[in-house]
């Protein structure tokens, strides 16, 4: 195995990878409900001579290597889309109304299929085992955990794990691979639901009703004080209500009002995470009471911080330098080593085995890729797919070779 050989093999696959990605892009599916996607990926793997095994509610796993003794490295691609109506200016738009691959997980699945194809050609030489994992339900932070519960980290036991996420709209050359430093790289995320109970009535007679909308509006404003008045400067804790629902018509005071949002922090179990949740609960209940309502806060769907392993991150940066030269970028060197507010459910894996999570720039802002992930107009530069495949395959082969 040499690095040039891997890059050549990967670039020969590029047209195929692009058509796989565009097919998946036209057929986005959500959460664990990946009937088309899973079947598609499974068929591609079967064509390469793999025997895909289902794992958890909708995941797929294949192994390659294992003929020579050594460690096991896990490579992961997620496959799910977003509940978003696509407005991107492309001719292979989503055919599933209200669903869109707006985070690039179609790119990830195609890239890992490319890596599967390359790795199969080195099967006899691999010093250990590569476990390729196609994961559902990342966007709802449940897929990684579901696969862990189903045993994805065992049989064989996983010694290291690697994932790549594409990024659109970065101000850097498309195809660059960004490698993080060790430590926390992404925030935790936890959902909340605030339910405010009042007493409905006629819009003309608020004095004999109890208006939950007024109470909810005051709760919403009061909660902002936690960010502005109770967290110290530099403490990373963000929470945002993104969904507010109450009432159905203009002349009826409703019984209830509801708010949903997310909390992000790099200290979810500690002072900041604890303080935010405690104070959200106190403020919500007290403000509701002041306006004669009752309210509860419920926290759910927790995803921890992503923790990057120091040694694995350093080794990966070396491998990416060998593979891509200047195309390998240390996130520290460009000031991107501070934890980002975004979250990623592969974080569950990062708490179990040494993990590295890289980014692949897929669309330069100067070249018109101006929208970022989760925007209905986002476009991804899929001419970089082969670099993702090469990065997955090369990092795995190099790490196994070194760690035998
Ligand atoms: Zn996403
Ligand atoms: Zn994503």
- Per DSSP, the residues of 250-270 read TTEE-SEEEEEEEEEES-SSS
* CATH (residue range 188-303): 3.30.70.360
Residues 6+ apart with CB under 8 A from 333: none
d(CA 137, CA 29): 10
Neighbours of 57 (CB within 10 A): 17
- The single residue listed with the structure tokens 């980002």 is 340
Under the banding of pLDDT at 50, 70 and 90, the label for residue 270 is: confident
Residue span(s) of the chain under CATH 3.40.630.10 come to: 3-185+305-403
CA of 138 to the centre of ligand 2 (A): 7
Q: How many residues does the chain have?
A: 404
Q: Which of 151, 149, 113 is nearest to 19 (CA)?
A: 113
Residues 6+ apart with CB under 8 A from 198: 209, 210, 211, 212, 213, 215, 253, 254, 255, 256, 257, 292, 293
**Residues 295, 280 contacting (CB under 8 angstroms):** no
CA of 109 to the centre of ligand 1 (A): 14
Domain 3-185+305-403 sits in which CATH superfamily? Zn peptidases (3.40.630.10)
Q: Which ligand is located closest to the Cα atom of residue 102?
A: 1
Neighbours of 39 (CB within 10 A): 11
Q: What's the pLDDT tens digit per position in 11-64?
A: 999 999 999 999 999 999 999 999 999 999 999 999 999 999 999 999 999 999
β-pair partners for 78: 135
Q: Which ligand is located closest to the Cα atom of residue 78?
A: 2
**Which CB contacts under 8 angstroms, 24+ apart, belong to 296-299?**
296/194, 296/195, 297/192, 297/193, 297/194, 298/192, 298/193, 298/194, 298/195, 299/190, 299/191, 299/192, 299/263
Instruction: Give φ, ψ of 333 to 5 degrees.
Output: -65, -20
CA of 189 to the centre of ligand 1 (A): 13
Per-residue pLDDT, 235: 80
| Beta-carbon-side half-sphere exposure of residue 106 (alpha carbons within 13 Å) | 30
Strands in 304-369 per DSSP E: 306-308, 328-330, 355-361
d(CA 218, CA 226): 14
Output 336 or 86, whichever has higher pLDDT: 86
Residue span(s) of the chain under CATH 3.30.70.360 come to: 188-303
Per-residue pLDDT, 14: 98
Q: What is the mean pLDDT of the chain?
A: 95
Q: What's the pLDDT tens digit per position in 210-225?
A: 999 999 999 999 999 9
CA of 93 to the centre of ligand 1 (A): 18
CA of 247 to the centre of ligand 1 (A): 30
β-pair partners for 55: 59
Instruction: Give φ, ψ of 191 to 5 degrees.
Output: -85, 150
Per-residue pLDDT, 358: 96
Per-residue pLDDT, 191: 93
Q: What's the pLDDT tens digit per position in 273-317?
A: 888 999 999 999 999 999 999 999 999 989 999 999 999 999 999
Q: Per mean pLDDT, which range of 17-21, 334-338, 343-347 is the poorest?
A: 334-338
Q: Is 246 exposed, middle or buried (0-12, 13-18, 19+ CB in 10 A)?
A: buried
CA of 33 to the centre of ligand 1 (A): 16
Is the pLDDT at 143 greater than 90? The verdict is yes
- The single residue listed with the structure tokens 């669309």 is 363
Pairing relationship of beta strands 201-202 and 252-253 according to DSSP bridges = antiparallel
The reported pTM is 0.92
Is the pLDDT at 360 greater than 90? The verdict is yes
Residues with beta carbon < 5 A to ion ligand 2?
A: 103
Q: Which ligand is located closest to the Cα atom of residue 164?
A: 2
Q: Per mean pLDDT, which range of 99-103, 182-186, 338-342 is the poorest?
A: 338-342
Pairing relationship of beta strands 256-265 and 237-246 according to DSSP bridges = antiparallel
Is the pLDDT at 99 greater than 90? The verdict is yes
Per-residue pLDDT, 314: 97
CA of 20 to the centre of ligand 2 (A): 18
Residue 89 gets which letter from DSSP? S
258 torsion bin: left (phi>0), alpha (psi -120 to 50), beta (else) = beta
Residue 226 gets which letter from DSSP? I
Neighbours of 349 (CB within 10 A): 28
Pairing relationship of beta strands 127-135 and 59-65 according to DSSP bridges = antiparallel
d(CA 39, CA 24): 11
Neighbours of 228 (CB within 10 A): 7
Is the pLDDT at 336 greater than 90? The verdict is no
Per-residue pLDDT, 255: 98
Per-residue pLDDT, 65: 96
CA of 1 to the centre of ligand 2 (A): 31
């Amino acid at each position: 195995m040499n690095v040039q050989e891997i890059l050549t093999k990967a670039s020969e696959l590029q047209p195929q990878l692009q058509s796989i990605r565009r097919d998946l892009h036209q057929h986005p599916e959500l959460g664990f409900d990946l009937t088309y996607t899973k079947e598609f990926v499974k068929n591609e793997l079967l064509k390469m001579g793999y025997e895909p095994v289902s794992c958890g509610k909708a995941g797929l796993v294949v192994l390659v290597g294992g003929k020579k003794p050594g460690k096991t490295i896990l490579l992961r691609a997620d496959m799910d889309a977003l509940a978003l109506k696509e407005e991107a200016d492309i001719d292979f738009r989503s055919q599933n109304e209200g669903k869109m691959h707006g985070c690039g997980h179609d790119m990830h699945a195609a890239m890992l299929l490319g890596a599967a194809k390359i790795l199969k050609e080195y099967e006899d030489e691999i010093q250990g085992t590569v476990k390729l994992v196609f994961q559902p339900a990342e966007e709802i932070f449940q897929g990684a955990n579901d696969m862990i519960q189903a045993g994805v980290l065992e049989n064989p036991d996983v010694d290291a794990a690697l994932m790549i996420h594409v990024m659109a709209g970065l101000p850097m050359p498309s195809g660059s691979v960004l490698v993080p430093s060790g430590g926390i790289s992404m925030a935790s995320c936890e959902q909340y639901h605030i339910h405010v109970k009042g007493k409905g009535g006629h819009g003309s007679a608020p004095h004999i009703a109890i208006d939950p909308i007024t109470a909810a509006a005051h709760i919403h404003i009061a909660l902002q004080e936690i960010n502005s008045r109770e967290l110290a400067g530099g403490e990373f804790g963000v929470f945002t209500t993104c969904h507010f629902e109450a009432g159905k018509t203009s002349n009826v005071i409703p019984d209830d009002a509801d708010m949903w949002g997310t909390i992000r922090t790099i200290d979810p179990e500690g002072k900041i995470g604890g303080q935010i949740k405690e104070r959200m609960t106190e403020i919500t209940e007290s403000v509701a009471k002041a306006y004669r309502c009752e309210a509860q806060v419920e926290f759910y769907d927790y995803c921890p911080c992503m923790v990057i392993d120091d040694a694995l991150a350093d080794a990966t940066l070396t491998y990416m330098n060998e593979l891509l030269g200047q195309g390998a970028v240390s996130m520290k060197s460009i000031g991107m080593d501070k934890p980002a507010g975004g979250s990623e459910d592969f974080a569950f894996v990062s708490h179990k085995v040494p993990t590295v999570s890289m980014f692949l720039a897929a669309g330069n802002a100067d070249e018109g890729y101006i929208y970022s992930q989760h925007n209905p107009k986002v476009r991804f530069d899929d001419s970089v797919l082969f670099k993702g495949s090469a990065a997955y395959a090369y990092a795995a082969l190099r790490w196994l070779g070194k760690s035998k």
